[in-house]
Amino acid sequence: MAGPFVPFGAAHAGAIAIAFAAPVALAALVRRWPGLDKYVRWTLAALMIGNHLVWLTLVDAENWVSWQNVLPMHLCDWAQIAAAVTLIWPRQRSYELAYFWAFGGTLQALLTPELAVGFPDFRFVIFFVSHGAVIAAVLYLLLARGMRPYLSSLPRVAAWSLFYMAAAFSIDMTLGTNFGYLRFKPFTHTLFDYMAPWPWYLAELIVLGAVSLLIYYAPFLIADLVRASRQRRTSP
């Protein structure tokens, strides 16, 4: 029988480790046998879709049906959709959304989940498969296919993120849900604990979103600058 969720306990740490180790191993495998790429991508996409269908089945079986549990309006849901689409049809626009939403949102949920039960409860497994698969997909596409965000990605992702926030807020105010934690803070310990009370923290979320874009783009910017500097030094 599952006990309560233990933050950074063995099960939690193991789930995080798998999310990061699996794409590294899969990318190494595909670099050795490139023909496996399609099967890896489609398997990851099928895992995401199948896991979500299992969740909906569980919600129905346990009579947990509610707007909060059924509508795909968490930012992690949008990240999962963008990641699944990119796995099936690798495209720059969907990848950049998946990348920034995965590390700016899904990663935070992976580290500080709003979860009451631990392994092996179905809710624990479904939660970490759905969130871990997004991280794994983004990293796999980066390492195996060389997909990455560019400077031009930032305004596009910012615009889509503001659109998500407006859509989620409208639904929250209409249905009484709390998608994006735009009506009240999560009950577990998260970064929200250090933010102002509602509604003032909504402005802080926008600022943090902008900072997040810069932070997660920084490694690519630095790599591009270093590469350009080397090219200048070696050019005649």
Question: At how many degrees (to 10) do helices 37-61 and 122-145 cross?
Answer: 160
SS3 of 82-106: the string is: HHHHHHHCCCHHHHHHHHHHHHHHH
* C-alpha span between 117 and 199 (Å, rounded): 30
All residues at 6 or more sequence positions from 94 whose CB lies less than 8 Å from its CB, including other chains = 82, 85, 86
Q: Is 66 helix (H, G, I), strand (E, B) or coil?
A: coil
At 224-236, the pLDDT tens digits run: 999 988 887 776 6
* Model confidence at 179: pLDDT above 90: yes
Under the banding of pLDDT at 50, 70 and 90, the label for residue 188 is: confident
At 114-164, the pLDDT tens digits run: 898 999 999 999 999 999 999 999 999 999 999 999 999 999 999 999 999
Under the banding of pLDDT at 50, 70 and 90, the label for residue 79 is: very high
* C-alpha span between 236 and 233 (Å, rounded): 8
pLDDT of residue 235: 66
Token pair in block for residue 158: 């910012």
* Model confidence at 1: pLDDT above 70: no
pLDDT of residue 236: 65
Q: Return phi, psi of residue 117, to 5°.
A: -115, 150
* Identity of the amino acid at 216: Y
At 14-69, the pLDDT tens digits run: 999 999 999 999 999 999 999 999 999 999 999 999 999 999 999 999 999 999 99
* C-alpha span between 172 and 231 (Å, rounded): 51
Residue tagged 């509602």 (tokens): 198
Q: Which residues pair with 4 in a beta bridge?
A: 117
The residues spanned by each domain of the chain are 10-234
Token pair in block for residue 127: 């939660």
Residue 54 CB-density burial (10 A; 0-12 exposed, 13-18 middle, 19+ buried) = middle
Q: Is 164 helix (H, G, I), strand (E, B) or coil?
A: helix
